[in-house]
Amino acid sequence: MEPRPVKKITLDFLRWIIGERDAAAIRSAVDEIIRCGGTEFQWFLKPVLDAVEIVVTGDTGLYHTRLQPEERVIVARIVRSIGGGGPV
């Protein structure tokens, strides 16, 4: 399968699992995707991993210490979705 369809399928799956609002399941799924897909997926899924860490730790300071300004909006949106605040 070509990279573009694989990323789309992966993104659709992640939207679904984030909608389930289970941080442990999301983290497990992302870890497995990275294990199977390699570093390309690690960079692609970094915002999801960052969001899960913020949700699990409750440390919103990570927005400012770990993320670039352009990443903050994306990660905040994922955090809200995991917490039940809206769609990804």
Residue 10 lies in a domain: yes
Q: Tell me which residue range forms the domain holding 71.
A: 3-82
> Please, is 11 exposed, middle or buried when counting C-beta atoms within 10 Å of its C-beta (0-12, 13-18, 19+)?
middle
pLDDT at 37: 81
Domain count, the chain: 1
Task: Give the pLDDT band of residue 71 (cuts 50, 70, 90).
Answer: very high
Residue 67 lies in a domain: yes
Tokens, residue 18: 């984030």
pLDDT for residue 7 is more than 90:
no
Residue 87 lies in a domain: no
Global pTM value: 0.82
pLDDT per position as a tens digit, 14-64? 999 999 999 999 999 999 999 988 777 888 899 999 999 999 999 989 998
pLDDT at 53: 93
Residue 70 lies in a domain: yes
Q: Cα–Cα distance between 65 and 27 in angstroms, integer? A: 21
| DSSP secondary structure string for all residues of 6-42 | HHHHHHHHHHHHHHTT-HHHHHHHHHHHHHHH-HHHH
